[in-house]
Amino acid sequence: MAGWELGNEPNSFHHLNSSLNVTAESLGGDFFQLSQILNHFPEIKGSILTGPSTTQLNKKPTIKYFSDFMATEGGREVTSPNFHQYYVNGRIATVDDFTNSEVLDSLQDELRTGNRIIEATGRKRKLWLGETSSAYGGGADGLSDAYVAAFMWLDKLGISAKNNVDVVLRQSFYGGKYALLDATTVDPNPDYWLTVLYKRLVGNKVLNVTSSPLSGDVRFYAHCSAEGFPQGSVTVYGMNLLSKGVNVTFPQFEGQLKIYLLSAPNQNLKSRFVNLNGITLEMTSDTSLPELTPRSGPNLLFLPPFSYVFIVADNKIYSKSCLDT
């Protein structure tokens, strides 16, 4: 059991039935009662308690609900405050929405709002995205399950880590157009491969990234590398949202880097496949993943239009922040 939670988007129950109204204060009482029940069982005492699982923090009524809940006795018992987030309406979303830097940036304000409310409670807790993907309403058909969805997913992982989010729960692994697996064939959608690479290459410790010139359309994040890489290794990941290629230089790195460049087959942003260093990723059998092999390259990298990349610098000690002490 990963944790305990009550309800799903309780601030929106009235949309389902006008007579349903679970107030933040009432929900807080329920969470307090749940916390007391959990404490009666030694095997689950101290478990994660997460909530209130509201809709996204981009409207005043939702922000007030989240804030009022966190101020209740039950809200103070919650170990991992969370809300849900989607960028766009899946019924009307366009391919341009998925590569729009302003759409991607909208998450930053929501995370800052959530962190500010948590900080005001005086308890040190980390925010969760308790349910999240690209587009609500089950996803956008032909977009949330296509190559272009990767930009929203990768940027969400980067910006969440940068804003002290502890856990990001993807909606969904299977089911809906935003799933990691195709609902009919159970073959991996492009976001699946991105997720595998992220888990293999990216560690938990977040580093600061600066760039010149600043650009919302070419953005990067950096972490200490995942376990298994030499101490001091750094993993950088990012994207080019432009319709033209760009050269990116990493002056801190010398020698050969491990490069995982991902692009759309035939430059088709609606493709259900993704290329890794020019090779289309597909399952080699019903149970086996292909080798996700990087290529070696210098610190000057050409990023094709609408591409994204993971880069691992592990042939020297690059970051003192990534050395175990």
> Which positions are annotated as active-site residues?
9, 131
Separation between Cα atoms, residue 245 and residue 305, nearest integer Å: 5
E runs forming strands in the chain: 50-54, 80-89, 127-136, 165-170, 202-207, 218-225, 234-240, 246-249, 257-263, 275-276, 279-280, 295-297, 300-303, 307-313
Extract the tokens encoding 231: 């101490």
What residue type is 217 in one-letter code? D
Separation between Cα atoms, residue 121 and residue 69, nearest integer Å: 11
Beta bridge partners of 312: 235, 258
Q: How many Cβ atoms sit within 10 Å of the Cβ of residue 4?
A: 18
Contact indicator for 78, 125 with CB cutoff of 8 Å: yes
What residue type is 52 in one-letter code? P
Half-sphere exposure of 68 (CA within 13 A, CB side): 16
Residues near 13 by beta carbon (within 8 Å), at least 6 away in sequence? 20, 21, 22
What residue type is 184 in one-letter code? T
β-bridge pairing 307-313 and 234-240: antiparallel
Distances (CA, A) of 244 to 47, 105, 298, 308: 49, 21, 21, 13
Separation between Cα atoms, residue 237 and residue 223, nearest integer Å: 9
Extract the tokens encoding 228: 């298994």
Q: Coil, strand or helix: which one is 129? A: strand
